[in-house]
Structure 1
């Protein structure tokens, strides 16, 4: 299953920021969030993306994220988040695939859903 991972964005306020230097400082990061798996949730496509006449099916998916503490590399939690974005916003601008293998696209997650699931970890007390 193909998905474009660069579409996930988080609020600027969640970045590790150095107030004195007025810039992002990744050495101050406390958590890292990794997408570790994408699984198709249904055999029924919710729509298609059209690439110059080539139509590619979009399937509902479950995205699995692992949240780790940077200092210790300890897994804080693993989250399964169900896709909920529209088909139009799930279609990446460009896809690369091997013709003999076919391709399908994972329905994306809305930024609001991703932020809502991560907010308690990012903004809550340290565990």
Structure 2
């Protein structure tokens, strides 16, 4: 599938040469509303790997549908809280950028379960470093 030259990439990596590979990007939360769109747009210009834990906070079928629409994006069901699951991904790819768009949804749920949000946001981000 060829890249669409009419859609500009939101991230501009220095070009090594015309028509050459311009970077490999990891997008977390790739089955979520925003990250899914970002991953698809970036895949027009870059190699994109997307991950998502596919949790069931809302209907998983919606996430599955988004994951199926990722096209050229290499998708893996991985939780950013699981450093052991992330390790092979980082061994297989040399990422030029990591866009951490993984997040727990729901304000009310975050007030009732702050530790879950802290684990995802803090530990998950730390695991990506």
TM-score by length of 2: 0.22
Q: Whose helix proportion is higher, 1 or 2?
A: 2
Mark the structure with the bigger radius of gyration.
1
Q: Whose strand proportion is higher, 1 or 2?
A: 1
